[in-house]
């Protein structure tokens, strides 16, 4: 099975942040343009370096090293000129062609200008199970994460607002360069049911860390179940996600996606993908994406948009 060791990405996910069913710390705004185009229906696909973030068990299927990088500009055109962006860099390295497992490291950053920043440093390892009796059928992996969240100083930080809405002239204590760090972990499982059928499971925020600055704000544990049917030139995938909402309830999201590759003899391969997602609280979203692959390099573009009921 051929793998692409280098993925250089540029993704625009305008409106994706608004389309999320609930805003929260360390929200998934789209890491990787290919995953964005697939509507995050990736738990059962998990076949590249972005498995570090979406299902670490998928790293065990890699046969060659992979490097991936993404830059996404979110909510473009805001009237206040805010620069809302997400950046990702990841590297995965199989040992002995994957027979002794695969290790991966990654850095993910979400930021709003100089006001707010989230960083995740990730270290992953995955390998196949029962390789002697059932080679390549079961995979398990985990990602250990160092989380760092901070609020930077702004002009508003030096002039707080009272409960009555009047400027006090005194510094706002909440906006004074506060930060919070935590340790977290994700767990992933992948099962090759048949040569072209994969089933995956992801447990995100397994340690449920408290990421609040001055209050109790635990990251709820998310469960993702996915399946995929893959051929050399196409992928059909689906995910069911149970995501923790800020009020303590569980949001349920169903995502369905399709991907098609169109190879040429001289000019590489072109890919197209699309997805639809439905979920709690009138969550409706569509995703589209394009790719160009030549030699061992791949360039992806993806975006998501809400669609009306």
| Dist CA 198 CA 84 (whole Å) | 35
Number of domains in the chain: 1
Section 111-115 average pLDDT: 79
Question: Is there a domain that residue 162 lies in?
Answer: no
The answer to the question of residue 164 being in a domain is: no
What is the Cα–Cα distance from 140 to 142, expressed in whole angstroms? 7
Could you tell me the sign of the dihedral formed by the alpha carbons of 191, 249, 163, 210, in that order?
Answer: negative
106: domain CATH number? 2.40.160.60
Give per-residue pLDDT as tens, 293-309. 998 899 999 988 888 76
Judged by average pLDDT, the poorest of 67-81, 132-146, 160-174 is 160-174
Instruction: Give 244-264 pLDDT, tens digit per residue.
Output: 887 778 899 999 999 999 998
Beta-carbon contacts of 301 under 8 Å, excluding residues fewer than 6 positions away, are: 9, 10, 11, 12, 33, 37, 289, 290, 291
How far apart CA 198 and CA 179 sit, in angstroms, is 40
Establish if 47 belongs to a structural domain. yes
Identity of the highest mean pLDDT range in 20-34, 237-251, 280-294: 280-294
Tokens of 286: 């569509």
In a domain, 187, yes or no: yes
> Per-residue pLDDT for 13 more than 50?
no
Domain that holds residue 205: 6-154+172-306
Question: What pLDDT score does 155 carry?
Answer: 57
What sign results for the dihedral spanned by CA atoms 264, 301, 36, 296? positive
pLDDT band at 108 (very low <50, low <70, confident <90, very high): very high
Which of 72-81, 235-244, 246-255 ranks highest by mean pLDDT? 235-244
Reading the block at residue 34, the tokens are 């290919």
Question: Has residue 7 got a pLDDT over 60?
Answer: no
Task: Check residue 138 and give its pLDDT.
Answer: 93
At 289, the pLDDT band (50, 70, 90 cuts) reads: very high
Identify the pLDDT of residue 246.
73
Higher-confidence residue of 125 and 219: namely 125
Average pLDDT over residues 97-112: 92
- Cβ proximity of 46 and 190 under 8 Å: yes
- Per-residue pLDDT of 179-205, as tens digits, reads 889 999 999 999 999 889 999 999 999
Between CA 301 and CA 308, with CA 305 as vertex, the angle to 5 degrees is 160
Q: Is 163 among the domain residues? A: no
More confident residue, 113 or 133: 113
Write down the pLDDT at residue 17: 34
Least confident stretch, 40-49, 54-63, 135-144, 290-299: 135-144
Q: 129 in a domain, yes or no? A: yes
Note the pLDDT of residue 84.
83
Residue 240 lies in a domain: yes
Nearest to 147 by CA among 243, 71, 211, 222: 211
Residue 21 pLDDT greater than 50, yes or no: no
Q: Say yes or no to pLDDT of 81 above 70.
A: no
User: Of 22-31, 72-81, 136-145, 237-246, where does mean pLDDT reach its minimum?
Assistant: 72-81
pLDDT tens per residue, range 46-56: 999 999 999 99
Q: Higher pLDDT residue, 99 or 167?
A: 99
122: pLDDT strictly greater than 70: yes
Q: In this structure, is residue 166 part of a structural domain?
A: no
Per-residue pLDDT band at 3 (split at 50, 70, 90): very low
How many residues are listed for the chain in this entry? 309
């Amino acid at each position: 099975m051929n793998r692409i060791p280098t993925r250089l990405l540029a993704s625009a996910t305008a409106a994706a942040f608004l389309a999320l069913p609930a805003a929260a710390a360390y929200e998934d705004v789209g890491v990787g343009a290919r995953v964005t185009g697939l509507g995050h229906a990736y738990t059962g696909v998990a076949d590249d370096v972005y498995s570090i973030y979406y299902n670490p068990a998928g790293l065990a299927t890699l046969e060659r090293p992979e490097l991936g990088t993404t830059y996404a500009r979110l909510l473009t055109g805001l009237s206040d000129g805010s620069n809302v962006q997400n950046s990702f860099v990841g590297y995965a390295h199989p040992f002995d062609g994957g027979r002794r497992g695969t290790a991966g490291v990654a850095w993910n950053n979400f930021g709003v200008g100089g006001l707010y920043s989230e960083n995740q440093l990730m270290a992953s390892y995955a390998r196949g199970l029962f390789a002697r009796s059932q080679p390549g059928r079961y995979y398990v992996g985990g990602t250990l994460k160092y989380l760092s969240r901070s609020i930077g100083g702004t002009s508003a930080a030096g002039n707080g607002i009272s409960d009555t809405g009047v400027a006090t002239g005194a510094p706002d204590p909440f906006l004074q360069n506060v930060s919070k760090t935590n340790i977290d972990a994700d767990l992933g499982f992948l099962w090759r049911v048949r040569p072209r059928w994969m089933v995956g499971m992801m447990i995100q925020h397994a340690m449920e860390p408290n990421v609040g600055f001055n209050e109790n704000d635990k990251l709820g544990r998310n469960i993702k179940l996915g399946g995929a049917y893959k051929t050399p030139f196409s992928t059909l995938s689906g995910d069911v996600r149970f995501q923790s909402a800020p009020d303590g309830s569980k949001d349920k999201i169903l995502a369905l996606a399709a991907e098609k590759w169109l190879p040429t003899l001289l000019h590489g391969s072109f890919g197209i993908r699309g997805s639809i997602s439905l979920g709690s609280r009138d969550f409706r979203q569509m995703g589209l994406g394009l790719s160009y692959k030549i030699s061992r390099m791949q360039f992806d573009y993806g975006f998501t948009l809400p669609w009306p009921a």
